[in-house]
Amino acid sequence: MHPVPMHDVTLAGFAATAVAAPGVSFALLGLLWLLGLKLSEKFVARLTCFTYVVSAIGLLYVAKGLYDLPGHDGVLQLGDWFKVGEYSFDLALHFDSISLPLLGMTAILTGLIAAFSETYMHREPGYYRFFLLLHSFGFGAMTAFSAGHLDLLVVGWELVGLSSVLLIAFFYQRSGPAACGVRVFGIYRAADIGLLAGVFLIHHYRHSASLLSIGQHALTADQATAAGLLLLLGAMGKAAQAPFSGWLPRAMEGPTPSSAIFYGAISVHMGAYLLLRARPLLDDSFLALGAVTFIGVFTAIHGVIAGRAASDTKTSLAYAAVTQLGLIFAEIGLGWTNLALLHIVGHSMIRTLQFLRAPSMLHEHHHMRAAAGGQVDLAGTSIESLMPVWLRQHLYWYALDRGHLDRFLQAAFVRPIFAVSRALLSFDARLLHQGPHIALPANPKAEEADA
């Protein structure tokens, strides 16, 4: 059934306000910073909480309004963002049973994170920057989840990616977060090639990238395979699926509240959301569906093994998230979309809570230990004890090196690109007779590792 246009002015107003509220707060805070005004911590935190309360109320009203619509599926046309010739970029927001749960989850969790961060980030030098980026992230997520067509989804998707990377490098005076930020950005951008190419390929085939235009049998099997696999590449990058899983533990360099909302809840699930949206298209391609399922299952197993050798809480949680994300991908591949949606919401909630509790975990463990009289039974060793020693050793080696996946990416992509780049630079230098003056990196391996 086609979505019903949302003509009711009040309903449309609530829907637009819910999505735009974080963007307005971001613009306001950004403008005030540019003007050199200093705002108190309390004002910034209160504004943030107010923003997400407004969003949540707006979404509740939209949910109530959609309940009365046939098919519980509505689309809000806000006009063209820009138009040239026969091409127009229309601002269409789509509210249905897939987008509303995720929009609601974004509003509630981001608001909770803002409330938590008011205390957690107190007197942090980058307090203002944190909230500014949180709004940029919230707006990106709201835009992506409510997008009525894939072009608009790309806008939100990229905003979320950029905010994530800037928050990973939040503690910028240490080189570790800066290097991790570059690495995560590299994976995001590489995978985004797939998303962009997939979206434009759908445009090429259908002359539209509206979510309605990618319904079942809209494309031939070959076209669906090409577009589906490209979209899958984009989804894999965002959802830390193998072989891109290595970025998720590195992303934990950012402040804990941002780790919780980005990598426990919203950002990592955007890949699964994209596949849920592209599901009718995937149905036309056995190969694409098989690839989604295989990657999901492989990632889930990889996450379980690699997480066993994680030496800190946030890395363990990151690999636990990788496992669940793999399972969600597998569910989508197998056609269990309702289960996948439920899994996304449930996983987001529990993982956010776990991330937020991570900094106080040791403290709580000490309490538990004291309460138990100094003896706490260790858990999690039973499965390993059932395996032969040689297998345990191999799996331990696999887990320690995080499945050799980073090494694979380095060998398959980073090193060849660097090699070609150096060859071109050295050709350029020879051409200008600059010979040894050319500043090729003193330590190429370190450069590559950093990249």
Partner 1 sequence: MTALLNTWFTIDAFNTVPIVLYTALFVSALLMLPRQDLRGLSVKFDYLLVFTGTMLAYCATQPFLIWAGWTISAIPLLTASHVHKLSRATVAAGCLALGGGIFLLSTGDYPEWAFALIMLAVIQRKGLFPLQSWVGDSFEHGDIVLHGLQFNAHLGLVIIARIALPLLPDLSHSSLMILSDIGLATAVISAVMAVAESRPRRVLAYVVTSQASSILAGLEGMNVEAITGSLMHWMVVPMATTGLLAVLRMLEVRNGGKLGTLQGYLGLGGRFPRLATFFLISGVALVGLPGTMGFISEDLLMHGALEAHPWIGLAIPVATALNAITIYRLFTRLFLGARVEALPTVPDARLRERLPLTAIVLALVVFGVFPQLAVNLRSRAAEQLVRAESQNAAQAVPGH
**Residue from the set 86, 363, 377, 382 that interacts with partner 1 by CB under 8 A:** 86
Q: Are 92 and 332 in contact (CB under 8 A)?
A: no
CB of 97 or CB of 421, closer to partner 1: 421
Using CB under 8 A, which of the segments 326-334, 385-393, 398-406, 427-435 binds partner 1? Answer: 427-435
127 near partner 1, judged by CB under 8 A: no
Instruction: Kindly state the smallest distance separating residue 80's Cβ from partner 1, in Å.
Output: 8
237 vs 333, beta carbon nearer partner 1: 237
Could you give the CA distance from residue 63 to residue 68 in angstroms, rounded to a whole number?
A: 9
**Rule CB under 8 A: which of 87-106 touch partner 1?**
87, 89
Q: Does 433 bind partner 1 (CB under 8 A)?
A: yes
DSSP assignment of 34-68, as one string? Answer: HTT----HHHHHHHHHHHHHHHHHHHHHHHHHHHH
Q: How far is the CB of 84 from partner 1 (least distance, A)?
A: 5
The amino acid that residue 93 corresponds to is L
| Interaction between residue 186 and partner 1 (CB under 8 A) | yes
Considering only 34, 371, 386, 389, the residue that binds partner 1 (CB under 8 A) is 34
Amino acid at 189: R
Among 169, 236, 240, 332, interactor with partner 1 by CB under 8 A: 169
DSSP string, 6-36: ---HHHHHHHHHHHHHHHHHHHHHHHHHHTT
Instruction: Using alpha carbons, select from 239, 327, 241, 223 the residue that is nearest to residue 282.
Output: 223
Q: Residues 417, 418, 419, 422: is their CA dihedral positive or negative?
A: positive
Residues 45-74 that bind partner 1 (CB under 8 A): none
Instruction: State yes or no: residue 39 binds partner 1 (CB under 8 A).
Output: no
Interacting positions 129-158 with partner 1 (CB under 8 A): 151, 154-155, 158
Supply the minimum distance, in Å, between the C-beta of residue 181 and partner 1: 6
Residues 6+ apart with CB under 8 A from 221: 284, 285, 286
Among 47, 162, 400, 405, binds partner 1 (CB under 8 A): 162
CA atoms within 13 A of residue 327's CA, in its CB half-sphere: 16
Total site size for partner 1, rule CB under 8 A: 60
What size, in residues, is the chain?
451
Rounded Cα distance between 235 and 406, Å, is 18
CA distance linking residue 248 with residue 315, whole number of Å: 8
Q: How far is the CB of 318 from partner 1 (least distance, A)?
A: 22
The residue from 68, 70, 193, 370 that contacts partner 1 (CB under 8 A) is 193
Name every residue whose Cβ is closer than 8 Å to that of residue 344 and which is 6 or more positions away in sequence. 101, 102, 269, 272, 273, 328
Phi and psi torsions of 368, nearest 5°: -65, -40
Cβ at position 105, least distance to partner 1 in Å: 22
Site residues for partner 1 per CB under 8 A: 34, 80-87, 89, 151, 154-155, 158-159, 162, 165, 169, 172-175, 177-179, 181-182, 185-186, 189-190, 192-193, 196-197, 200-201, 203-204, 417-418, 420-422, 424-425, 428, 431-434, 439-444, 447, 450-451
